[in-house]
Amino acid sequence: MQQFEFTGAVLPPAAEAARGSIRAFLAEEVAAARFQPHRCTWSSFDSGFSQRLGAAGFIGITWPEEYGGQSASSLTRFVITEEILAAGSPCGAHWIADRQSGPQILRHGSERAKREILPRIARGECYFGIGMSEPGAGSDLAAVRTRAEKVEGGWSISGQKIWTTNAHHVHYMIVLARTGERGESRHEGLTQFVVDMQTPGIEVRGIRDMAGNHEFNEVFFDNCFVPDDMVLGAEGDGWALVTGELAFERSGPDRFLSDYQLLVGLIDAVGPAPDRLQAVEIGRMVAELASLRRMSTSIAGMLGRGEQPVVPAAIVKDLGTGFEQALPEVARRLVDCEPSLGAEGPFAEALAETVLRAPSFSLRGGTREILRSMIARGIGLR
Instruction: Single out the segment in contact with ligand FAD by CB under 6 A; choices: 163-171, 192-200, 261-269, 323-331.
Output: 163-171
Rule CB under 6 A: say whether 363 interacts with ligand FAD. yes
- Pick from 253, 255, 256, 259: nearest CA to 352: 259
DSSP labels for 167-194? TTT-SEEEEEEE-S--TTTS-SSEEEEE
| 72 Cβ contact list (under 8 Å, min separation 6) | 14, 18, 61, 62
Active site residue 149: no
Rule CB under 6 A: say whether 207 interacts with ligand FAD. no
Per CB under 6 A, the list member of 18, 113, 132, 350 interacting with ligand FAD is: 132
Q: Please, what is the minimum distance in Å from the beta carbon of residue 373 to ligand FAD?
A: 6
Rule CB under 6 A: say whether 92 interacts with ligand FAD. no
How far apart, in whole angstroms, are the C-alpha atoms of residue 124 and residue 58?
A: 9
* Angle of the 310-334 helix axis to the 276-304 helix axis, nearest 10: 160
Rule CB under 6 A: say whether 367 interacts with ligand FAD. yes
Per CB under 6 A, the list member of 2, 71, 139, 291 interacting with ligand FAD is: 139
Instruction: Single out the segment in contact with ligand FAD by CB under 6 A; choices: 32-40, 127-135, 191-199, 240-248.
Output: 127-135
List the Cα angle 317/318/323 in 5-degree steps: 90
How far apart, in whole angstroms, are the C-alpha atoms of residue 125 and residue 47?
A: 7
Q: Please, what is the minimum distance in Å from the beta carbon of residue 158 to ligand FAD?
A: 17
Q: Half-sphere exposure of 130 toward its Cβ, with a 13 Å CA cutoff?
A: 26
Catalytic residue among 125, 134, 245, 249: 249
How far apart, in whole angstroms, are the C-alpha atoms of residue 251 and residue 82?
A: 12
Per CB under 6 A, the list member of 115, 369, 376, 381 interacting with ligand FAD is: 369
Q: Please, what is the minimum distance in Å from the beta carbon of residue 322 to ligand FAD?
A: 14
Per CB under 6 A, the list member of 339, 364, 374, 378 interacting with ligand FAD is: 364
Binding interface with ligand FAD (CB under 6 A): 129-133, 138-139, 163-165, 216, 360, 363-364, 366-367, 369-370, 373
Active site members:
249
